[in-house]
Amino acid sequence: MSAIETIPARASTPDELYQDAARAYGPALERLARAYEADPDLRRDLVQEIHVALWRSFKTFDGRCSTRTWIYRVAHNVGASHVLRQSRTCFPALVGLEELENLPDTNSDPDRTHILDRLLQLTQRLKPLDRHVILSYLEGLDAAAIGEITGLSTSNVATKVHRIKHLLARWFQQGGKSDE
Amino acid sequence: MNESPNNSVLEIWQSQPVEVTKMSAEVLRKRANKLEHRVWWRNAREYAASLGAAVLLAYSFATTHDLLSRVAFGLFFLGLIWIGVQLHRKGSAKSMPTAVDTVSSLRFYRAELERQRELVSSIWSWYLAPLVPGFIVYTIGHAIRVPHPAAWAKLALLDAMVALMFLLIWRLNMRTARCLDRMIHELNGTN
């Protein structure tokens, strides 16, 4: 749990809440934007758009959910709108987790850069809901937190996370070794 | 399940080098205002264009002595009002609460996309058709008022251009409807 979780919502102004959120979750927001936009210039715009949405959203923050859930919800929703907006002009086919599991792994090199590149490429192809789940998982959130952000049931999240783990293990393992 | 490969992936993901964006309150306010101004100007332009066309038609209606031309301008005027009402009723975009959960936000997007698809795929009935009676009456009125083959030829050319423009608008909107349909299809089955 980050420091921002301990800040009582009513004790802070929206500006202060935003500043704390930006400080605590800035890197996570950057990583999230990477999974939504491959182009660096468009990504910079997307990150700024997320920050503006977050800043504006804190005016209506009522403390009914944790600030972490609030921040991830806002960021994912801005990311999803960005993808939908972009898809009006150029439309790469988005896939679900189950389809992703069947994609052949063309390179089993476990190098960090390769893993990161592949993670980004694959998350950028995922449908919005699966993308939210995988990104939340990669940020280290548990099933209950992912469920709160996405609105999915815990069992549904657990199924998706199981698939994600299987998928990640498959990419990560060299030489076709099984993780399970 | 062996957790170590997954933990390594998580570690790689979380430790990737990122340049953190810092935006001051002033910059945030400016960007938010810029966005609001852009929306305000876009709406203002649309209303100004509609108002301009309505004033022009009302003026033509008031100053024309020919009965059929007056009827035509009156029909155009009514058609424009009908379009404006429909656009306001069906076309106004709803803004989504920014911090709703993913399932709710996707449901909202799907409903919005479906609404937009309905709007563009029915462009003929609410946008193009209301202008047709005005064009027909104007054509008949002009043909009676100026009974010369040369004038009729010009009129036919004008009508052909209008018909072509209608066809183009209709086709563009059908293409947009197909695109929206594809987006809705992409969103379907995600929850």
Q: CATH code at A111?
A: 1.10.10
Q: What is the pLDDT of residue B10?
A: 86
Task: Provide the 8-state DSSP code for B128.
Answer: I
**Which B residues 7-36 touch A at CB under 8 Å?**
8-10, 12-14, 16, 18-23, 25, 28, 31-32, 35
How far is it, in rounded angstroms, from Cα A12 to Cα A19?
Answer: 10
Contact between chains at B1 and A78 (C-beta distance less than 8 A): no
Q: Do residues A9 and A67 both lie within one domain?
A: yes
CA distance, residue A140 to nearest chain B CA (Å): 7
> Are A124 and A36 contacting, i.e. CB atoms less than 8 angstroms apart?
yes
HSE-up (13 A, CA, CB side) for residue B171: 6
Report how many domains make up chain A: 2
The chain A residue lying nearest B28, using CA atoms, is A52
User: Are residues B116 and B181 in contact, defined by beta-carbon separation less than 8 angstroms?
Assistant: no
Burial class (CB in 10 A: 0-12, 13-18, 19+), A15: middle
A101 and A87 in one domain? no
Q: What is the mean pLDDT of chain B?
A: 85
User: Same domain for A133 and A63?
Assistant: no
Q: Which two tokens stand for residue A60?
A: 């209506």
pLDDT tier, A95 (very low <50, low <70, confident <90, very high otherwise): low
Domain interval for residue A133: 94-180
CATH number at residue A30: 1.10.1740.10
Domain boundary among A91, A123, A145: A91
A26–B contact, CB cutoff 8 A: yes
Choose from B1, B3, B9 for mutation: most chain A CBs within 10 A.
Answer: B9
Residues A82 and A117 grouped into a single domain: no
Mutate to test the interface with A, among B3, B7, B11, B12 (most CBs of A within 10 A): B12
pLDDT one-digit tens code per residue, B60-77: 888 988 999 999 999 999
Q: Print the SS3 string covering chain A.
A: CCHHHHCCHHHCCHHHHHHHHHHHHHHHHHHHHHHHCCCHHHHHHHHHHHHHHHHHHHHHCCCCCCHHHHHHHHHHHHHHHHHHHHCCCCCCCCECHHHHHCCCCCCCCCCHHHHHHHHHHHHHHECHHHHHHHHHHHCCCCHHHHHHHHCCCHHHHHHHHHHHHHHHHHHHCCCCCCCC
Q: Domain check: are A36 and A75 in the same one?
A: yes
Assess whether A34 and A53 both reside in one domain. Answer: yes
Of A91, A109, A143, at which residue does a domain stop? A91
Q: Decide: B72 and B138 in contact? Cβ < 8 Å.
A: yes
Share of chain A above pLDDT 70, in %: 75
Same domain, A79 and A134: no
State whether A29 and A85 are in the same domain: yes
Domain termination residue (choose one: A45, A61, A91): A91
A142 and A131 in a common domain: yes
Show the tokens assigned to B73.
């301008």
Residues A49 and A116 grouped into a single domain: no
Q: What is the pTM of this model?
A: 0.72
- Tell me the pLDDT band of B45, cut-offs 50, 70 and 90: confident
Please state, rounded to an integer, the average pLDDT across all residues of chain A.
80
